[in-house]
Structures are given as structure tokens and as C-alpha cells.
A = this chain, B = another copy of it.
Amino acid sequence: DMAVRHYTLDFNLSTAVDSAAIVPSLLSIFHEQELAETIHDTNGHGYLATFVGKNGRLVILRVHAHGLVTIDLQCYEEDNISQLPALVRGATVDRYWPTADGRLMEYDIDEVVYEKDSAYQNIKIMHSKQYGNILVLDGDVNLAESDIAYTRAITGNGKESYAGKEVLILGGGDGGILAELVKQKPKMIIMVEISFSGFNGCKMHMRKTCGNTLDTLRGDCYQILIEDCVPLLRKYVQEGRTFDYVINDLTAIPISTEPEDSMWEFLRLILDLSMCVLDPKGKYFTQGNSVNMTEALSLYEEQLGKLSCPVDFRKEVVCVPSYLEQWVFYTAWKK
């Protein structure tokens, strides 16, 4: 394993630092390790020295003018100089997948079990010891086999009865929603996905999520359509077809806060068309985004107030295990 371990160790000195006083004692540590030392000219930005060892070890010692001391150790073998776990760099399996609100998270991923570039996105399925297989689309953690909480939240948290109902699922290609709802014997579920890609990966590697529902495009009470949902929704509007539930599992709401962004236009279009095909007593369920993305969530709620058909909504914050952040889900209905 030639991955590089990168340890960081930081400490703050309470008073502004006299490098001349602190540096010699720190240097003595590194001198013992037979490291070659270079002292750099920092133009008055504190003290900076690098140490290079024979075994490829690199130490960077900085004493910043305001009292912060940072030490970096990069080495090939496991070591343990820091309170913080090492950053593992250049490993064959990437363990770092940031949250939607941009925080660094290290997953316990040990294997990439599936990878494919479709016309629409990069599809990865990775194995986590604690979450089972995780579907990652374009670098975003989408759903893990542990995440029944996601499926429950986007189907109304067990408070709805789907028996005998007409349901439309937009997206949902991992099969999680479909697998849960068919158990309740709805009259018919139409699920519309834009592409076959992803199906195969999920069908093979996310069976705890999709069960056997993706093995066939037509079941007792469901049908999977492989097409763009927008023309389909327009057709349903023209035909006057309605659904008791519309579940939008297409994507998280955009994190862009520019309402003119094409992602927001697409979102409004889907919302408007969905409300047109929703029974007057029906419910629309969708995911939002990280609870910390407050601006994006507010903007989404503004859009809900601008639809051609007036709607009310409520939201709920849910812990989806593999997300490592709290996630907002919305329920909307016609006023």
C-alpha cells in the first residue's frame, strides 16, 4: 500500500511567538530523525522549515506570526503523531466524500463494487462496512443500503396508506421507494427514469434497497418507464390523468442561490407539472437538501409560493445514516 499518510498537528501559543525561542527545541526532535533541513525565507510571515528523510518522509514546520504552530508529517507507513486521524492520500479507494454543506467526511469505504459513466452522470457503488453498498452519483452520496430512513421520509414516514392508490415516482432509479411501496399493494405505481444506466448497478449491488423490483420493468402493480419525465408529465396533463401521490426523487434541490439558474427553472417546471397531475386530495413528497443549506431551502420554499396552482407545504428534518448531515424533506399539497 503506497498511499501517503498525511498527519497534521497544530498548537496555539498564547502569546505572539518568538521563533528564536521555540524553534530550537522543535528542531531537536527532527534532527534526531536524520532529516535534511531547509529553512525558507518567508518575507516576515513567521518561521518555515522543511525536513526531508531518507525514507521519503517529509516534515513541514511552520511557526505563524500570530502564535499558531503547524506541523505536517507525510510518510508512507502508518504512524501516529497526531490526535487527528491521518488524511490518506492517493489510496485506490477514495474515502473522503464531503457533505452538501462542504464539510470533510471520511467514510469507511473499502471497495468500489461498480462504476459506470452514463450519458447523464457518473455512477459509483461503493461498499461501506457499516452502511452496506452506497450509491454515489456525480460524487454525491445518494443512498446506502442502510438508508431506509430516506425511503420512509420521502413516502410520508409510514403515515400514508398506499393500498389501492395511484402513485407516480419521478426518478427513484435505485428502486428503494418502489420496493417499499409495492409491499402496500397500491393500484398502480408508475416510475419514470431517464436512463437504464444505474439500474444494472443497483439491481446487482443494492438488493437490500430495491429487492427484486428492478428485475423486470413491469410488475403486478408497477411499471417502470425509461424516458424523460417532462414529456410524460405533459402527456398526463393533457389526458387529465391524476395520481394520489407524486414522489419526486429526481435530485436534491439545487444549492445554487441564483433563482435564474437552469436547475431552478427545471425544478419549477417539474413542480408545476407535478401539481397538475396531483389529485386535489393528493400529496407530493420530495427531498430538499442539507438542513444547513438555509438559503437554498428558503429559495425552494419561495418557488413553492409561485406555482400556477397554490400549494401548502410542511417540512421535516430527518437523519439519513449515510449522509452524515441532517436532511430536509418536503410534503406539499394543493390548497
Contacts and interface: CB of A to CB of B under 8 A. Distances in A.
Interface string A45-71: 110101010111010101010101010
A41 B36 CA distance: 8
Contacts of A321: 319, 326
Given A2-B66, A50-B40, A104-B106, A326 B131 contact: yes
A8 B10 contact: no
Contacts of A43: 52, 54
A199 interface: no
Interface residues of A, number: 62
Stoichiometry, copies per complex? 2
Nearest to A56: B45
Interface of A: 2-4, 6, 8, 10, 12, 36, 38, 40-43, 45-46, 48, 50, 52, 54-56, 58, 60, 62, 64, 66, 68, 70, 72, 74, 83-85, 87, 89-90, 95-96, 98, 101-108, 129-131, 139, 146, 149, 290-292, 317, 319, 321, 324-326
16 contacts: A2-B64, A2-B68, A3-B68, A38-B40, A38-B50, A58-B60, A83-B139, A85-B104, A87-B87, A103-B106, A104-B105, A130-B290, A130-B292, A130-B317, A146-B326, A319-B321
